[in-house]
Structure 1
Amino acid sequence: MALFLYITIAVLLGLVLYFAFRKQTSGLSNELKEIRKELTESREKNIESLQKQLEESGRIVRDVTGHIKDVTSQLEKVHADHQHVKDVKEQLGKLTDVLANPKQRGILGEYFLETLLKNVFQPNQYKLQYKFKDGQIVDAVIFIKDKIIPIDSKFSLENYNRIVSEKDPTRRDELEKLLKQDLKNRIEETAKYIRPSEGTMEFAFMFIPSEGIYYDLLINQVGAVKISTYDLIEYAFKEKHVIIVSPTSFYAYLQTVLQGLRALQIEESAKDILKRVDVLRRHLLNYNDFLAKLGAHLGTTVNIYNRAYKEFAKLDKDTARLTEGKEKIEPLEIERPRNIEE
C-alpha cells in the first residue's frame, strides 16, 4: 500500500514536472522567436544602413577622384605654363643679349626694315645694302622712277637704358646730353646718304626699329624722365632733310610711296597709250592720203572711160548713117567716185 502511494506520488510529480517544463519550453520558444525576429529586423536595418553608407562612400570616392583629376589637370597646366614662362624668359634673355650687342642690334634693326619693305614693295622696287660711288653703303633704298630714297636703320640704346635706370638727377642730365648727341650723330650719318648727284631724293628716312624710343622722342620723355628731344626731330627734318620713322609710321610712309609708284606706273602707261594712239592717227592719215590718191586716179579713169564711150558712140552714129540703119549703141556713163572728204 505504501509502495503504491509512493508510485502515485512519483507519477504525479513527474506529470507536474513535465507540464512545468513544457510550459517553460513554450515560453522560451516564444522568446527565441521574438529574439530571432528582432535580430532579423536589426540585421535588415543594419544591411540597409550599410548599403546607404557604401553608396555615400562610393559617391564621396567618385567626387574625390574627380577632384584629384581636376587638381592633376590644373597641376599639369601650371607645369605647362611654368615651362612656357621659362621658355619666354629664355627667349627674352636671348633678346636682351642681342640688344646688348650693338652689332647684333643693328642686324635686328635691318631685319625689321627688310621685313617691312618685303611686305610693301616688289623685289625690283627696293634694294638692301645699296652701295654709293665712294663705297659707302646705306641699309636700303627705294626706287622711284629714276630717283632713289635712302633708308638707314639706327638703334641708339645704351644711353637710353641708362637714363631709364638712373636715379641721380645730375647724372641723368649728363646722360640726357649724351643721348641727344647720339641721336644727332645718327641723324647726320643718315643725312650723308642724301646725294642728288647720284640720283637720290632730297630727303632720307632714319628708321628707328623701336616704337618705345620713337614715342619717347615725340613726347620728350624717356621712361618717367622728361627730356628735350623734339628739337632734334625739327633739326633732322628742317636742317638735314632726314625723316625719323618707327615701324608703324614708316609703314604709313611706305604706303604713300607705293601709291606714288602706282601713279607713276599709270602715268607711264598713259604716255605709252598716247604714243600708240599718235602712231595709229598717223597711219590713218596715211591711209586717207592713199584713198584720196586712189579716188583721184579712179576719177580720171572714169572720165577717160566716159569720153572713150562717147567717141565709140559717135562711131556707131557714123556707121548707122552709112548703112542707113538705127543707132545700136547708147552712151553709158558712170559716175566718178566722190571725194572722200565729202
Structure 2
Amino acid sequence: MFLVVILIIALVIALLKNKPEQKNDQSFALLQQQVNLLKDQVSKDITSSSQLVDERLKSMIDSVNKQLTTVDKTLSDRMDKNNIIVNNVRENLGSLSQATERIREIGKDISSLQEILRSPKLRGSLGELFLSDLLSQILPSVNYSLQYKFKNGETVDAVVNIGERLISIDSKFPLENFIKLTELKTEEEKRSQKKKFVSDVKKHIDAIASKYIVSDEGTFDFALMYIPAENVYYETITKSDYSDDKPVSSYALEKKVVPVSPNSLYAYLQVIILGLNGLKIEKNAQVILEHLQRLKLDFERFKTDFDVLGKHITSAKSKYDDTDKRLNRFEDKLLQSGQPGQETEEQPLLIEK
C-alpha cells in the first residue's frame, strides 16, 4: 500500500512539471489536499495493518508457547516413564544376574552330585530312598515294610503286604553301562554297550527271581523291579536296534519279574490300594454277617420266650374268664339269698369249680 502511494505522488509531481507554470495555486492546493488525505489514509492503513500483525503474531506466539508447554510435559512424562523402565531393567538385570549365579552354583552342585553318584552303592541307596518316599506317599505304613528279611537270609528293599501275601520290590538297578551308553557317539560303540547293558539287566532279573520270589514265605509268584528313572525304564523295556537278543521286557515276564518306573509303580500301587480296600470290605462284610447271625439267634430265643409268654397269657386269660363267670354266678346267688321273703334252698357255700 505504501509503495502505491509513493508511485501516485511521483506521478503527480511529474504531471505538475509538465504543465505550464501559469497553473493556478488553487489546483495545487487541491492536489496538496488530496495528497494529505491519501497520506492520512495510508497512515491509518499502516496502523491497522500493524495492529493486525501484532495480534496475529501474539496469537501465534501464544499457540507456539502452548504447544511448547505440551511438548515439554509430554517429554517430561516420557522421560519419567523411561527412567522407570530403565530402573526396572536394572532391577531385572540384577535379579537375572543373581539367578544366573544361582544356576551356576546349582550346576556345580549337580556336577558334584554326579561325581558322588558314580558309586553304585550310593546310587542304590538313592533308589531305595525314592522307593521309600513313593510308598509312604501312597500306602499306609501298616501295608508295607522296608528292608524286609526273608528266612533264607535275603533282604529285599521293600515288600507290600496284601492280606496274607507279600509283593517284593527291588530298587538296586544296574546303571553303570547305561551311563556309559549315553556318553557314546558312534553306532558301533552304542551297539556294543547296549549288549552289555541288556546283559546286566537280565542278570539282575535272574537275581530278583531267585532271591525275592519265595512262595514258602507268603510272596506272590512275581516281584517288581523298580527302575528309578523314566528314561532308563524306557530304554530297558523297548526293543533296541543295538541289540539282537530277546527284549528285556519279554525276558522279565518269563522270569515273573515286572519292571516298573516311578509313574508305572504309582499305577500298580493304586491297583494294590483297590485290592486292600476290597479286603477291608470283605472283612467288614464278614463281621456284619457274624453280627447278623448273632441277631438271628437272639431273635429266635426271643421268639421262643415270646411264644411261651403268649401261651401263659392265653392260659391266664382262660382262667380269668372262667373265674369271672363263677364270680358272677356267686354274686347272683348272693343277691338272691339276701332278699326278704325269698325262700331259698340251702346252697353250698363253696364256689363251683
TM-score (normalizing by structure 2):
0.67
What's 2:9 paired with?
none
Any stretches of 5+ residues in structure 1 without a counterpart? Answer: 1-51, 326-342
Which residue does 2:117 correspond to in 1? 99
Letter in 2 for 1:263: G
Over 3 Å counting, the alpha-carbon distance change for 1:295 and 1:68 in structure 2 is closer
Does the 8 A contact of 1:150 with 1:193 survive in 2?
Answer: yes
Could you tell me which residue of structure 2 aligns to residue 217 of structure 1? 236
Q: 1:306 to 1:65 in 2, by over 3 A?
A: closer
Correspondence 1:119-130 to 2 at 5 A: 119-130=137-148
Equivalents in 2 of 1:263, 1:199: separation in Å?
A: 19
Cα gap change, 1:117/1:229 in structure 2, threshold over 3 Å: closer, same or farther? farther
1:154 to partner: Cα distance: 2.8
Alpha-carbon distance in 1 for matches of 2:315, 2:81:
118
Q: How do residues 126-145 of structure 1 correspond to structure 2 at under 5 angstroms?
A: 126-145=144-163
Q: Which among 193, 199, 202 is matched to residue 218 of structure 2?
A: 199
Distance 1:292 1:65, change over 3 A: closer
Residue 227 of structure 1 is aligned with which of 217, 227, 243?
243
Matched, 1:236 2:252: yes
Comparing 153-162 and 61-70, the one that deviates more? 61-70
Deviation at 1:173, TM superposition (A): 3.7
CA distance in structure 1 between the aligned counterparts of 2:81 and 2:331, rounded to whole angstroms: 135
Indicate the residue corresponding to 1:90 in structure 2. Answer: 108
Residue of structure 2 aligned with 1:162, choices 180, 183, 202: 180
Tell me which residue corresponds to 1:303. 318
Once the two structures are TM-superposed, the CA of residue 311 in structure 1 deviates from its matched residue by 4.2
Partner of 1:79: 97
Distance 1:236 1:309 in 2: 94
1:208 aligns with 2:223: no
Q: Is the 8 A contact 2:238 2:247 kept in 1?
A: no
**Number of the residue aligned with 1:10:** none
**Where does residue 148 of structure 1 map in the other structure?**
166
1:152 aligned partner, one-letter code: D
SS in structure 1 at match of 2:174: coil
Shift of 1:240: 1.6
Matched, 1:276 2:295: no
Contact 1:140/1:152, CA 8 A, preserved across alignment = yes
| CA distance in structure 1 between the aligned counterparts of 2:91 and 2:127, rounded to whole angstroms | 42
After TM superposition, give the deviation of residue 268 of structure 1 in Å.
1.4
Structure 1 residue aligned with 2:276, among 251, 261, 285?
A: 261
Measured on the aligned residues, the alpha-carbon RMSD in Å equals 3.4
Question: What does residue range 324-339 of structure 1 map to in structure 2 within 5 Å?
Answer: 324=343
- Secondary structure in 2 matching 1:140: strand
Whichever residue aligns with residue 229 of structure 2, its letter is S
Count of residue correspondences:
272
Partner SS for 1:100: coil
Query: Which amino acid letter does the alignment assign opposite residue 209 of structure 1?
Result: P
Give 1:88 deviation, angstroms. Answer: 1.7
Q: Distance in 2 between matches of 1:122 and 1:229?
A: 41
Q: Which moved more, 1:270-279 or 1:112-121?
A: 270-279
Instruction: Say if 1:126 and 1:173 are closer, same or farther in 2 by CA, change over 3 A.
Output: same
Residue by residue over 1:27-64, the C-alpha shift from the partner in whole angstroms, topping out at 9 and shown as x without a partner, is: xxxxxxxxxxxxxxxxxxxxxxxxx9xx9xx9799899
In structure 2, runs of 5+ residues without a counterpart are 1-68, 345-353
Indicate if the aligned counterparts of 2:144 and 2:158 stay in contact, CA closer than 8 A: yes
Structure 1's 230 and 82: CA in aligned 2 closer, same or farther, altered over 3 A? farther
Report deviation, 1:176.
Answer: 2.5
Q: 1:229 to 1:83 in 2, by over 3 A?
A: farther
Q: Identity over aligned residues, as a percent?
A: 32
Distance 1:279 1:74 in 2: 76
TM value normalised by structure 1 = 0.69
Instruction: Classify the secondary structure of the residue corresponding to 2:212.
Output: coil
Tell whether the 8 Å contact from 2:191 to 2:242 is kept in structure 1 after alignment: no
Match of 2:201 among 183, 193, 196: 183
CA distance in 2, matches of 1:176, 1:153: 21
Distance 1:252 1:230, change over 3 A: farther
Give the whole-Å Cα distance in 1 for the aligned partners of 2:124 and 2:259: 16
Alpha carbons of structure 1 residues 173 and 306: separation in structure 2 relative to 1, 3 Å: same
Once the two structures are superposed, residues 287-335 of structure 1 have per-residue CA deviations (whole angstroms, 9 ceiling, x without a partner) of 111000111112222223333344445555665479657xxxxxxxxxx
Write the mapping of 1:6-45 to structure 2, written as runs, cut at 5 A: none
